Amino acid sequence: MKTQRPKGRVLIIDDDHLVGAMLVAHAHASGFDAKVTDDPELFYSLARDWKPTFVVVDLVMGEVDGLTVLKALAEMHSDAAVVIASGMGAKILDSARQFASASGLAYGGVLHKPFHRADVAAVLAAGSHAPDADGAVLDVFGEWDSDRFEEALLRAVARDELGVAFQPKVACVDGRLVGYEALVRWSHPTLGAIPPDAFIPRAESLRLVSLVTDSVAATSMAWFASARAHTSERLAINISAVELTGPDLGTRLLAECHRSGVDPSRIILEVTETSAMANPTESLEILTRLRLDGFQLSIDDFGTGYSSMVQLSTMPFTEVKIDRSFVRNLGSSLPAEVMVRSMLDLSRGLGVECVAEGVETAAALEVLSEMGCDFAQGYHIGYPMTESDLEAWIVAHNARL
């Protein structure tokens, strides 16, 4: 009988031995390998060498607090999705999440103590990076040296293994279709579907991410030019923080616009708040040049970084995207509603359009419309789709309006 490989690895730090044992058991039941310790140094060693898919961090412990652990994980550039486990109130948990995100860590969710097996299963299912049940791609890439990864990525570009999924964006007030976000997908001949989180960080660290940017731009602009040229819709493309340190981004994107026949004013370049503010002076120059080239600029994951209003006011953004962590709590969290209203007021004050991402319910969309948000994007509206699926979705969506 063939033994099924684990979906990933879960590393836990908790000084309550019973809770730790329960987490290990629940992780095993969900198909994951799991290890637990209450020793910070052993935890840090395992976080480096065992390469977990998830780390579960208790916020309140005797020897070390959870924020210290999160800071250490950020300093070692951990790729693991961070799950915060605590019995503290929602406001403290949200502050810890903000701290993790601002530190550059991937956020994997919250486990409210006391929790049940179903809670652990839901968090692991929602945040898992594993592409299928046969194994974790992150572990496979972790064993590859730089030359092997570079060769695989170059081959992927040459053989059209990198594809694009499109997620639609609509006007909050009337549901009118206004554009799409192009999301990269890698279909490897032996590893299968590889999620972006499994290869983009490696491509960035090896300064190969321009290959991905150019491939996504070429594929998405070609479709956009052939299928949506007759509309006023716009196409959004994600730009890595690494690209904001190079001088040729605008030249490459303009060349692709000319090849495909797409006006740069219909292209939105999305950069994260944290990446834009990592080196404000250098980013300001590159972003300003992109605006001079005619591109629209969007600040992604707004509200999760550390920028000030003064810094934001100097950047030539034309759009703000409110992070999904605020949007998903609309209707159930007063702080989330206050934050979203504040961000909408800020965007209006700066004269930029505002997009809410992560809209997963009709109720959230209705609240956003009442607040005066311009556009929305999320699973309630449409999942990321292939070109053919998207074209069928467009027909059905327009028929419902």
Q: Is the pLDDT of residue 308 over 60?
A: no
Which bin fits 175, alpha (ψ -120 to 50), beta or left (φ > 0)?
left
Indicate if the pLDDT at residue 312 is higher than 50. Answer: yes
Beta bridge partners, 320, equal: 299, 354
Q: Confidence class of residue 315 from pLDDT cuts 50, 70 and 90?
A: confident
0.85 exceeded by the pTM? no
Distance CA 283, CA 290 (A): 11
pLDDT at 131: 38
Q: Is the pLDDT of residue 359 over 50?
A: yes
Q: What is the mean pLDDT of residues 128-147?
A: 53
Mean pLDDT of the chain: 87
Where do the domains of the chain lie, and which CATH numbers do they carry? 9-127 (3.40.50.2300), 144-400 (3.20.20.450)
Q: Is the dihedral of CA 382, 387, 388, 394 positive or negative?
A: positive
- Higher-scoring residue by pLDDT: 331, 80: 80
Averaged over 109-122, what is the pLDDT?
A: 81
Residue 70 has, within 13 A of its CA and on its CB side, a CA count of 28
Q: What is the mean pLDDT of residues 268-275?
A: 84
- pLDDT value of residue 132: 37
- Please report the beta strands in 285-383, taking only residues with DSSP state E, as ranges in sequence order: 296-302, 319-322, 353-357, 375-377
Comparing 153-167, 300-314, 331-345, the range with the smallest average pLDDT is 300-314
Amino acid at 326: F
In single-letter form, the type of residue at position 9 comes to R
Tokens read off for 210: 């321009």
Q: Measured between alpha carbons, how far is residue 367 from residues 19, 259, 363, 373 in Å? A: 38, 41, 6, 9
Q: pLDDT at position 83, please? A: 92
Identify the H or E element spanning 194.
strand 192-194
> Which residue did the predictor score with more confidence, 245 or 285?
285
Q: Are 56 and 13 in contact (CB under 8 A)?
A: yes
Measured CA to CA in angstroms, residue 320 lies from 114, 129, 244 at distances of 37, 27, 18
